Each structure stands twice: as structure tokens, then as C-alpha cells.
């Protein structure tokens, strides 16, 4: 399979889009470290995935992406257990215009911290074997949503950071390919909770609801089906890509 022998790290992977990404990676032969703060669901997911894919394929590691120390420890444990890191997916994210500083530290700073840690491990200029980074942004990173200025800012930031890092990688020869994934509306716990997280912008909920009705909401199953081909195209590590 396309990702046999490869090791992936996925943040915020216990549920939702992150879990969907984990399942695609496992189905295509990769070993996966599932990083999340939800230990109960995370361990339960590994139990389920181990029954489906066999032992030593999936591992849960508690990690708050706001903590550089916890990210470092999770990366180190992954390397010790699976022998290296070839793919990183910075997926962990929240939607909250009330605790907006946290939205920034998780969505944007967590992605930057993960990317810089992956650079330390993957960089061919410092003995690494190269790799692939996927940063989960959003269509809100392409066009602003009036109900969530800070969430919109974090996703615009993720896209800008990803594009800049990609240019640096090509110019420097890191051997790291990096892409931003920009989903539309997907039925997850985050999506279900947005109405209660708008804070001072709750008056904008109508505009967003109109957009939701116009664009529709993907089920996680439909999202996974559409993501598989794209994820394989992006993650297949062949020399002529890096
Ligand atoms: N659901 C949607 O409509 C869309 C979601 N996205 C993005 O996709 C990513 C995943 O979102 P969903 O799956 O919808 O959310 P979700 O809420 O269903 O799952 C998010 C996961 O991340 C974990 N998490 C939250 N904060 C964390 C932290 N500080 N450290 C580690 N793990 C943490 C949660 O425990 C949970 O398991 C986010 O970056 C989100 O912004 C982008 C576009 C659309
Ligand atoms: C309100 C955000 C809902 C869920 C968060 C989810 O995680 C997410 O990121 C979904 C993003 C989907 C965006 C879809 C389309 C965006 C289009 C932009 O060009 C804005 C277009 C109209 C804005 C109307 C308005 O908000 O005023």
C-alpha cells in the first residue's frame, strides 16, 4: 500500500476530521500516533483501530498542542515507538469567539509549534529524511466569516504560514512538502457547537446560517471519501516530490 513503512502524527485525532485522517492513513498502510487531550475517546479509538488494523499500528498520546513540551514528548515517543516521523497533520482546532485567545494559541500557534518540531526531525539539511506536513485550515481561511473574526484570522494565518514555509522549504532544500487543507462545513462536534461560541458576534449567525444552507454540510463519511484521494496524492513520499 502507498504508505507502507511510513509513520504519521495527527493532532486532535480522537474524533471528527482528525479521526477521519487517521483512518485513511491506516487504511493505506501507515502507522499513526493519535495526539489529543481526550484520553477516554483516544484510548477507545486505538482499541477499535487495533482490532481493525492489527497491533502496533496506532498509538494514543495525550497532548495539548498549546504545550510545546507535550508536543516534543509526543514526537519523541512516536520516534522511539515507530522509528521516525514521515507525515505530520496539524489538525487540532477549536471554534470559540468568547475564549478567542485560546482559539489563537490552539489553531495558529499549535500549528506553528507542530510544524517547527517536524522541521527539526524531518529537515534533510540536518540529517532528517524529509517528509510531508498537512495543516488543516478551512474555507474560512480563504474568505472571512462575519460571525467569527478570530477563527477566520487563525485560519487565514494557517494558510499564510503554510505558504511561506513551503517557499522556504523549496528554496532551502528541507525535503519537506507542506499543504493546507481547507474544508467547508463538516458535521462534527465543533460544527454542532458553533452557535453557542459566537459571543459578541451572535447577531451574525443568520448570515452564516444562510451560507451553511447554500453550501450544505458534509457528513464525515462523505468528507472522508473525498479526502482519501487528495491525502494520498499529498502524502505519497517519492523522491521526485521532495
Ligand atoms: N467541522 C468543520 O466544519 C470544519 C473544521 N475545520 C477544522 O478541522 C479541524 C478539526 O475540527 P473538527 O474535527 O470539526 O473538530 P472536533 O471538535 O470534532 O475535533 C477536534 C479534536 O481536537 C481535539 N483538540 C481540541 N483542542 C486541542 C488541543 N489544544 N490539543 C490537542 N487536541 C485538541 C479535540 O479533543 C477533538 O478530539 C479544526 O482545525 C477545525 O478548525 C475546518 C473546516 C471545517
Ligand atoms: C461559522 C463557522 C462554522 C464552522 C467552522 C468550521 O470549522 C469551518 O471552518 C467552516 C468553514 C466554512 C466556510 C465556508 C465558506 C466560506 C466562504 C467565505 O468566502 C465567506 C462567504 C460568505 C460570508 C458570509 C458571512 O459570514 O457574512
What is the residue-wise DSSP string for 72-99?
Answer: HHHHHHHHHHHS---EEEE------SSS
Atom of ligand 1 nearest to the CA of 155: 41
Nearest CA to ligand 1 atom 40: 93
Cα torsion 53, 55, 56, 60: sign: positive
Closest CA to 123 of 68, 168, 78: 168
Closest CA to 106 of 180, 12, 13, 39: 12
Q: Write down the ipTM of this complex.
A: 0.97
Digit-coded pLDDT (tens) for 77-130: 999 999 999 999 999 999 999 999 999 999 999 999 999 999 999 999 999 999
Centre of ligand 1 to C-alpha 153, Å, is 16
How far apart CA 75 and CA 78 sit, in angstroms, is 5
Q: What is the largest CA-CA distance in the chain?
A: 52
pLDDT at residue 239 greater than cutoff 60: no
The pLDDT, as a whole number, for residue 242 is: 39
Digit-coded pLDDT (tens) for 20-46: 999 999 999 999 999 999 999 999 999
Contact 212 CB / ligand 2 (< 6 Å): no
Closest CA to 96 of 20, 181, 12, 200: 200
Contact 2 CB / ligand 1 (< 6 Å): no
Digit-coded pLDDT (tens) for 216-234: 999 999 999 888 888 888 8
- The domains of the chain, with CATH numbers, are 7-231 (3.40.50.720)
174 is catalytic: no
Grade residue 237 by pLDDT with cuts at 50, 70 and 90.
low
How far apart CA 64 and CA 89 sit, in angstroms, is 14
- What is the mean pLDDT of the segment spanning 160-184? 97
Contact 229 CB / ligand 2 (< 6 Å): no
Contact 185 CB / ligand 1 (< 6 Å): yes
**Test site for ligand 1: of 112, 135, 190, most ligand atoms within 8 A of the Cβ:** 190
Centre of ligand 2 to C-alpha 209, Å, is 9
Amino acid at each position: 500500500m502507498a504508505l507502507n513503512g511510513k509513520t504519521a502524527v495527527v493532532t486532535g485525532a480522537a474524533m471528527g476530521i482528525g479521526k477521519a485522517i487517521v483512518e485513511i492513513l491506516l487504511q493505506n498502510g501507515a502507522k499513526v500516533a493519535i495526539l489529543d487531550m481526550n484520553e477516554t475517546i483516544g484510548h477507545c479509538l486505538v482499541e477499535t483501530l487495533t482490532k481493525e488494523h492489527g497491533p502496533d499500528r496506532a498509538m494514543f498520546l495525550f497532548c495539548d498542542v498549546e504545550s510545546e513540551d507535550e508536543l516534543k514528548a509526543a514526537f519523541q515517543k512516536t520516534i522511539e515507538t515507530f522509528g521516525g516521523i514521515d507525515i505530520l497533520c496539524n489538525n487540532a482546532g477549536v471554534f470559540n469567539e468568547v475564549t478567542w485567545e485560546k482559539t489563537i494559541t490552539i489553531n495558529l500557534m499549535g500549528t506553528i509549534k507542530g510544524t517547527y518540531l517536524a522541521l527539526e526531525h524531518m529537515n534533510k539539511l540536518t540529517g532528517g529524511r524529509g517528509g510531508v506536513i498537512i495543516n488543516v485550515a478551512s474555507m474560512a481561511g480563504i474568505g472571512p466569516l462575519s460571525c467569527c473574526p478570530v477563527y477566520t484570522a487563525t485560519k487565514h494565518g494557517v494558510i499564510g504560514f503554510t505558504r511561506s514555509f513551503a517557499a522556504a522549504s523549496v528554496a532551502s532544500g528541507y525535503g519537506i512538502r507542506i499543504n493546507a487543507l481547507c474544508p467547508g462545513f463538516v458535521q462534527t462536534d465543533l460544527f454542532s457547537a458553533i452557535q453557542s461560541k459566537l459571543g459578541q458576534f451572535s447577531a451574525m449567525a443568520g448570515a452564516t446560517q444562510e451560507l451553511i444552507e447554500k453550501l450544505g454540510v458534509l457528513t464525515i463519511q462523505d468528507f472522508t471519501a473525498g479526502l482519501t484521494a487528495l491525502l494520498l496524492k499529498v502524502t505519497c513520499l517519492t523522491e521526485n516530490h521532495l
